[in-house]
Structure 1
Amino acid sequence: MSRTPNDTITWGMMLRKLPAIARAVPRIVKGMKLANVQDLTQPCGLGWCFEQATQRNPQGPALLCGDTVLSYAQVNAQANRIAHYLLAQGIGKGDCVAIFIENRPQLLISVLAMAKVGAVSAMLNTSQTGDALVHSLALVNPVAVVVGDERVAAFNDVRSRTALSSGRTWWVADQDSGDVPSGFVDLMADCADYPGDNPACSQQVFCNDPCFYLYTSGTTGLPKAGVFRHGRWMRTSTSFGLIALDMQPDDVVYCTLPLYHATGLCVCWGAAICGASGFAIRRKFSASQFWSDVRRYRATTLGYVGELCRYLIDQPVAADDRHHSVNKMIGNGLRPGAWSTFKTRFGVDHICELYAASDGNIGFTNILNFDNTVGFSLMGWELVQYDQASGLPLRNLQGRMQKVPRGQPGLLLARIDEKAPLDGYTDPAKTEKTICRDVFVPGDRYFNTGDLLRNIGFGHGQFVDRLGDTYRWKGENVSTTEVENVLLQHPQVAEAVAYGVEINGTNGRAGMAAITPSESLATLDFSELLQFLHCKLPVYAVPLFLRIKVKMDTTGTFKYQKTRLKTEGFDPCGTGDEPVYAWLPGTDTYVRVDRQLATRIQGGQLRY
């Protein structure tokens, strides 16, 4: 992320915000009380919050999708019927149920029902197939699975590799669904005759009970399952819904983000529930239909990632670009270069950029509406020096880490304490690897986020980059190890190193891999290789660029020189006599990159 001259927050800028700060103080105080549930026996969490919202706004729209509009009372009653059915089937508190449905109301209703009985929803990435899907299921050992009709084929491909019984393999019809597939039970039909009143067990869910398992990219190349507890749901929904956005019953959040990720599921939906507001969703993001949907649903609030905003900016300018009711938006990854352009063109007053990770314990929020910042955090955090090659924090001769000067990028560490506990992963060993101990004083503990931020003044952070073995592209985290492992499965690839490279005007980093052919470049079929990668990887993880190396460069300790590869990128002027190939938009093979093509890509003439 490049730094602009106006990024530093000054005393003058803070003074101009005093009226906004004064208005925000009462709801910040109220929000902090609601968010920090101290009583371990106090009912809280998703199910409890939704029931409170239903009491507050029973006939108000809760879920909107296409022509469907469901009120809070309707959604709550449907979730209750499923909850009572689940109890009758022996599903109870602490049981894990995998959810494999694309963005539609039935996904959220199913998740809400699980929360009411105290079951844990494992939010499967709907792009996953094959080995990755099997791994994700095995990580959480679900007692049941709910499969949308649109994902039946993907599930059936791996079904024999799971231990799930057909009696607990529930199916949810889609718009054009036919008969119930063989080996599935129709969830909505079977629960239809169960009562629609709130189950007593929704009052027996407490802050330390897990609500979701959310998957993140693992350094081994396969996903990790992060634990998201009901207490954290309270903190998330209240922090964003009340403190940051001041959501009200007449607000509507429009969210096209995938609901298996925390930004869509917890931040956007949580903010809507906190305000008893409407939540409008779409199966897949559409840049051409985006503003039509916004006007159709009378949305006041947008959920976004930076890539989504770039796609909207790239659309032709229209006379009605500002003809909408949106005055605030919440999300992450909006680059400084696009920030003012988006705000000005579409007339959105408040960009509430945030920083958080589903597997972490810290969140930043841009409550005061400064530009180009993720805002501030009420949790303890520090930015420390790090090794550029490994991405690991550095320690001095005394064994302590060293803070970076203000304004300089540093590795973000989040203090782990009672106010900011670390829920971690389902695998305790993986959780332990993220914890830094004895950082500044003996006995202290910090969560290593693996991200670079800079402090631009008054405790406000600015996101700089991701470190380590993942990069972000198309709003998704990509594991370099997963990409490398898949490439090495191809018989014509002997060695592979995956990494992310920057393309001007895009968010995140595009996938690139340096590969050494098993035989020779002449025998490598690029069309077949691309088809192979598409079968094995989600589309966002397929490398856009390939660099062909006769021999891979390693350090003295036999580690690949990934930092240098990232720096040299895909420009043939930087790669010397090693050819680079690119998968261009709308094509089905890789083509050789020359200087002219590299210039066109960096100049934005090809839309990635």
Structure 2
Amino acid sequence: MTANTLASLLLARAEDDRPGLMFEDATWSWREHIAACRAAGAWLSGRAARPHVGVISENVPELVFLVGAAALGGPVVVALNPTRSVEELIRDARATDVGLLLADDPHAGLAGPVAAALGLEVLPLSAVSPGLLEPAGPAGTVEPGDLVMLIFTSGTSGRPRAVRVTQRKIAVPGESLAAFLTPEDVVYCSMPLFHSGALMAAYAPAVASGAALALRRRFSASGLLPDIRRYGCTYAHYVGKALSYVLATPERSDDARNPLKIAFGNEGSAVATRRFSERFGCLVIDAFGSTETAISLTPDPAGPPGSLGRLPDGVRILDPFTGRPCPPGLIEHGRLLNPDEAVGELVNTAGLGLFDGYYNDLEADAERIRQGAFWSGDLAYADADGHVFFAGRGTERLRVDGENLAVAPIEAALREFAGVVEAAVYPVPDAAAGDQVMAALVLEGAFDPDAFLAFLTSRRDLGAKSLPRYIRLSRRLPLTPSHKVIKRVLARERWRGADPVWWRTAAGLRLLTDADVKGIEEEFVRHGRQHLLET
């Protein structure tokens, strides 16, 4: 079997009788796991009119077996996001040439209308359960560039796009992360397998190392520690705000008494990763990556707090308008003094990394690939020593009173305020010109406006223009299933959402009233910018 393929990693486990998959009260050995993958692939190959099988499901063993089946030569799996509407799923399935639809029981009602609209057969996902299918023979030959899955981007800053997930795209990160594991380890997977993070940073390293994979249907903040102890998990994968929500659960004196050694993921805040490590007694490795996997950064333990690591060969920070390299950031007391020139886009100038393109989406390909380089859409800056800091998505840049601001440093500062579980910063329009800074906070307790204002005033890393004009207090933020904040929802609601909003004025902070909103929006009319309130 060709190297750098998921198939070769799976077949290396085919005679392994150690535990390979744990789910609720059931356990499969790796031998049983691979046999189930082969049987599912053989059965599906005779049913799909087109080569792609769509799956609407939580994290269940059958989904794992289908991924293995696709790797071993079966139909390509299209991981459909069950949080999307019927209309959106119809578009997604049509765009990815789905010929057969499978759904677990909780999503059967969602799958029915999708299948009916596209004239597809829909079957319960349990149809590929082990024991219901005939054994199948060895897989055929596969190549590193062969398609295994289609996975949609999270859609935090725009429409989700179907990324081509090839054999090598899963195998390479799996083999890299397997360096942290042995066959005696257990990998905890609660992030959704219909996103790439769980696939490449939980499933793939388990396969590559021979460690067991402990699967949970969906993430639960209160369920994480009991699961870690129940299954003996030594490695856990997370994405986005998951760590913050775990930290918001009641603390116990014995939290650090658990087998967890490593928590690996991305987009955890510096505050959350530090607190999680201290509370649960494990190493937290927060890396930078994306569904496209064209750029990855390795954290530097000796680097400054919040740094993503150093730029690897070929990856540069470029001005998205001129294409020129951005100069180093001038940082004083944690504050970036020259964001206009230092903040740019992360670009892989050496090639596309593991990115094999979007599926049938030339417009999306053209947006990311320019003259052989991959433009990530992610903003960053580097200090004089080459340490890189995330500055936000390309759609998250603010311009306040003529000055460009990056949201990530503001969010990092707000998370330091006592009681903040999570913070999101985003632009809302200013009545006269440019933007104003708005922040949405999730708090453990009551909000003290005087303490918060004093906190803002004390922050030497926040300039006057970085201070939020509006503060929204939310019980929870709108999240993708992979726990990334959907800021476009917050930005669209502005100060008109259901949550209370505090307004920072020259006299201090006060709750925004209906009369205040009326006055603010009349200002937009006076400046001829009322159209900005209609988007």
**Which band: TM-score by shorter chain?**
0.7 to 0.9
Give the 3 Å change call, closer, same or farther, for CA 161–509 of structure 1 in structure 2: farther
Match of 2:21 in 1: 63
The offset of 1:429, in angstroms, is 2.2
Match of 1:363 in 2: 296
Give me the whole-angstrom Cα distance separating, in 2, the residues matched to 1:337 and 1:138: 42
Structure 1 unpaired stretches of 5+: 1-40, 174-185, 386-392, 438-444, 472-498, 515-551, 556-560, 602-608
Q: Kindly report which structure 2 residues correspond to 1:406-445, keeping only aligned pairs within 5 A, or say none.
A: 408-417=342-351, 420=353, 422-426=355-359, 427-437=361-371, 445=372
Q: Are 1:48 and 2:8 matched, yes or no?
A: yes
Give the 3 Å change call, closer, same or farther, for CA 569–335 of structure 1 in structure 2: closer
The offset of 1:591, in angstroms, is 4.9
Give me the whole-angstrom Cα distance separating, in 2, the residues matched to 1:470 and 1:305: 22
Contact 1:376 1:460 (8 Å CA) reproduced: yes
Match of 1:171 in 2: 124
Give the 3 Å change call, closer, same or farther, for CA 220–409 of structure 1 in structure 2: closer
Contact 1:379 1:415 (8 Å CA) reproduced: no
Contact 2:502 2:510 (8 Å CA) reproduced: no
Once structures 1 and 2 are overlaid, which stretch shifts more, 273-282 or 230-239? Answer: 230-239
Q: Are 1:299 and 2:233 matched, yes or no?
A: yes
Give me the whole-angstrom Cα distance separating, in 2, the residues matched to 1:134 and 1:342: 39
Pick from 76, 82, 86: which aligns with 1:126?
Answer: 82
Give the 3 Å change call, closer, same or farther, for CA 421–318 of structure 1 in structure 2: closer
**1:59-117, CA deviations, whole angstroms, 9 ceiling, x for partnerless residues?**
2221112111111111111111112212333679xx22112111111111122112212
TM-score after normalising by structure 2: 0.72
Q: Kindly report which structure 2 residues correspond to 1:106-505, keeping only aligned pairs within 5 A, or say none.
A: 106-164=62-120, 166=121, 169-173=122-126, 186-188=127-129, 192-197=132-137, 199-201=138-140, 204-217=141-154, 221-242=158-179, 245=180, 247-348=181-282, 350-366=283-299, 372-376=306-310, 378=312, 380-385=314-319, 393-395=320-322, 400-405=323-328, 408-417=342-351, 420=353, 422-426=355-359, 427-437=361-371, 445-455=372-382, 460-468=387-395, 504=415, 505=420
Structure 2 letter corresponding to 1:351: V
Contact 2:186 2:235 (8 Å CA) reproduced: yes
The offset of 1:237, in angstroms, is 0.9
- Cα RMSD of the aligned pairs, angstroms, is 3.6
Contact 1:353 1:373 (8 Å CA) reproduced: no
Structure 1 letter corresponding to 2:214: A
**1:381-417, CA deviations, whole angstroms, 9 ceiling, x for partnerless residues?**
00123xxxxxxx121xxxx423331565432111253
**1:232-255, CA deviations, whole angstroms, 9 ceiling, x for partnerless residues?**
22211112223xx2x110011112
The offset of 1:315, in angstroms, is 1.9
The offset of 1:584, in angstroms, is 4.6
Contact 1:96 1:140 (8 Å CA) reproduced: yes
Contact 1:380 1:415 (8 Å CA) reproduced: yes
Contact 1:254 1:294 (8 Å CA) reproduced: yes
Structure 2 letter corresponding to 1:366: P
Contact 1:384 1:404 (8 Å CA) reproduced: no
The offset of 1:206, in angstroms, is 0.6
Structure 2 letter corresponding to 1:42: T
Match of 1:79 in 2: 37
Task: Give the 3-state SS of the residue equivalent to 1:234 in structure 2.
Answer: helix
Give me the whole-angstrom Cα distance separating, in 1, the residues matched to 2:285 and 2:294: 19
Give me the whole-angstrom Cα distance separating, in 2, the residues matched to 1:569 and 1:294: 33
**1:366-393, CA deviations, whole angstroms, 9 ceiling, x for partnerless residues?**
37586644335655200123xxxxxxx1
Give me the whole-angstrom Cα distance separating, in 2, the residues matched to 1:600 and 1:585: 21
Give me the whole-angstrom Cα distance separating, in 1, the residues matched to 2:88 and 2:82: 11
Give me the whole-angstrom Cα distance separating, in 2, the residues matched to 1:125 and 1:248: 32
Structure 2 letter corresponding to 1:135: R
Pick from 88, 94, 102: which aligns with 2:58?
Answer: 102
Match of 1:523 in 2: none
Identity of aligned residues (%): 22
Structure 2 unpaired stretches of 5+: 331-341, 399-406, 442-448, 454-464, 478-496, 512-535
Contact 1:103 1:284 (8 Å CA) reproduced: yes
